[in-house]
């Protein structure tokens, strides 16, 4: 088995670490819902779905959702949150995204949040995402901008912490400009972006999830009024794949 896949499975084997940042999951879910708006998406793929809190709210009586995650524990939690009335239209896949059997151009909305930092090749993952996307489809993807001044400081702290704790795990370090370029090279257009920052290290031990959520919203606003965006190194992008008539 690929060593990178082993590392990711180990990292997310205990979901508590990810789920502890409930305020951030809440922000991501709200931004995604805001980007989606009233548009009708009939087939949704959530790559690295976690507990399903971001994509499950997008379920309607007319669409289908595929939840994909490497972590069987995460996927089990997501399954437990599927509303019974929508269960027949939700598929769950416990595999690596790059090896999972997914049909060409079979989705009109693909979510990829908290994933690109952990993959072998962001370029290959992005290429496959685009191959699975229908014309006029949308991709909503998250990336931590390591080249942003605030992102650089967070990265230095994380690197030092890993050295002190002797943790060998490393993340992919993509700049925001590079990510936009990579999707642009695949023919996708940037439609919207929301930028914010996570709280300083240790804040989660001192403040509640609700307090941290309110603080981030106060500093950075909403997806329609992202007034603190210049400070943000945590980025959520909305890309669109042109249709045949757009070319």
Locus of tokens 């239209």? 89
* pLDDT mean for each 10 residues of the chain (247 residues): 68 68 93 95 96 96 95 93 95 96 96 93 96 97 90 74 66 90 97 94 87 95 95 96 68
pLDDT, tens only, 197-229: 998 877 888 899 999 999 999 999 999 999 999
pTM: 0.91
Cα dihedral: 141, 129, 171, 68 (round 10): 90
pLDDT, position 202: 79
Q: What are phi and psi of 2, to 5 degrees?
A: -55, 130
Are 111 and 54 contacting, i.e. CB atoms less than 8 angstroms apart?
yes
3-242: CATH topology: Rossmann fold (3.40.50)
Domain boundaries, the chain: 3-242
């Amino acid at each position: 088995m690929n060593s990178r896949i082993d590392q990711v499975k180990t990292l997310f084997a205990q979901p508590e670490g990810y789920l502890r940042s409930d305020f951030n999951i809440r922000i991501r879910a709200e931004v995604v819902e805001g980007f989606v708006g009233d548009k009708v998406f009939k087939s949704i793929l959530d790559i690295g779905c976690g507990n399903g809190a971001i994509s499950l709210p997008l379920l309607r009586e007319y669409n289908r959702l595929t939840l994909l995650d490497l972590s069987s524990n995460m996927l089990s939690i997501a399954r437990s949150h599927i509303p019974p009335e929508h269960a027949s239209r939700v598929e769950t896949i416990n595999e690596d995204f790059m090896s999972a059997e997914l049909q060409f151009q079979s989705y009109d909305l693909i979510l990829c949040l908290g994933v690109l930092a952990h993959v072998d090749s962001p370029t290959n993952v992005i290429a496959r995402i685009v191959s699975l996307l229908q014309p006029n489809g949308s991709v909503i993807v998250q990336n931590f901008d390591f080249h942003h001044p605030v992102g650089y400081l967070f990265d230095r702290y994380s690197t030092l912490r890993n050295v002190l704790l002797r943790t060998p795990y490393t993340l992919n370090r993509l700049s925001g400009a590079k990510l936009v370029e990579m999707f642009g090279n695949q023919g996708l257009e940037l439609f919207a972006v929301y930028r914010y920052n996570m709280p300083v290290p240790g804040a989660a031990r001192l403040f509640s999830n609700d307090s941290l959520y309110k603080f981030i919203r106060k500093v950075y606003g909403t997806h329609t009024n992202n007034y603190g965006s210049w400070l943000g190194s945590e980025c959520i992008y909305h890309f669109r794949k042109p249709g045949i008539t757009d070319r």
